[in-house]
Structure 1
Amino acid sequence: MGQADTLIAIEKTEVGYHEGFSNGHHNNHQKFSPAVPGLEWSQNQSWCQTFQSWAFQQAGVKSLAPVTASCPAAVNWYKSHGRFSYYPAIGAMVFFGHSGGEHVGLVYRYDADFAYTIEGNTNANGSSEGNGVYLKKRARRDSFLYGYGLPHFTEGIVTADPGLKNKPGYTYMAVASSRESVAPPMAEAEEALPWVSSQQLAWAASRPTAEEQAAGNGGGSAADDVALVQDALENVMGVAPADPHSVFEAETQELFERFRMEKLGHPEADGHGVPSTQELAELGRQSELFSVRAGSSPAAEQPWVSLNQVVWASTHSAQEEREQPGGDASPKADVALVQDGLRRVMHTDVTDERGIFETATQGLYDEFRRTVLHFSGSDAVGAPGEQSLTELGQRAGLFRVHAGFPAGGTTDGAGVEAMGQIHPTQVTFHRCTSEGTLEDWIAQASTVAGVRASNFWVKGFRTAVARESSGNPNACNLWDSNARTPPGFSKVKDFGDGYRLHEPIVRLNGALTHFQCSRGIVQCIPQTFAQRHAPGTSVNIYDPVACIAAAMRYVRSRYGVAVDGSDLAKKVQQFDPNRPPHGY
Structure 2
Amino acid sequence: MNQTDTLIAIERAEVGYHEGFSNGHYNNHQKFSPAVPGLEWSQDQAWCQTFQSWAFQQADVKGLAPVTASCAAGVDWYRSRGRFSYYPAIGAMVFFGPSGGSHVGLVHMYDADYAYTIEGNTNANGSAEGNGVYLKKRARRDSYLYGYGLPAFAEGIVTADPGLKAAPGCTYRATATSRESDAQPATPLEAVLPWVSSNQLIWAATHTLAEEQAMGNGTSRPADDVALVQDALEQLMGVTPGDPHSVFEAETQQLFERFTREKLGHSEVAGNGVPTTQELVELGERSGLFNVRAGSSPALVLPWVNLNQVIWASTHSAQDEKAQPVGSADPRADVALVQDGLEKVMHTAVADERGIFEAATQSLYDDFRRTVLNFAGSDAVGAPGEQSLTELGQRSGLFQVRVGSLPAGGAPSGPGVDGMGEIAPKQVTFHRYTTQGTLADWITEACAAAGVHASSAWVKGFKTAVARESSGNPNACNLWDSNAVTPPGYSKPEDFGDGYPRNGPVRRLNGELTPFQCSRGVVQCIPQTFAAYHAPGTSVNIYDPVASIAASIRYVRKRYGVALDGSDLAAKVQQFDPNRPPHGY
TM range (shorter): 0.3 to 0.5
Q: TM-score, with normalisation over the residues of structure 1?
A: 0.44
Relative to the length of structure 2, the TM-score reads 0.44
Say which one has the larger Rg: 1
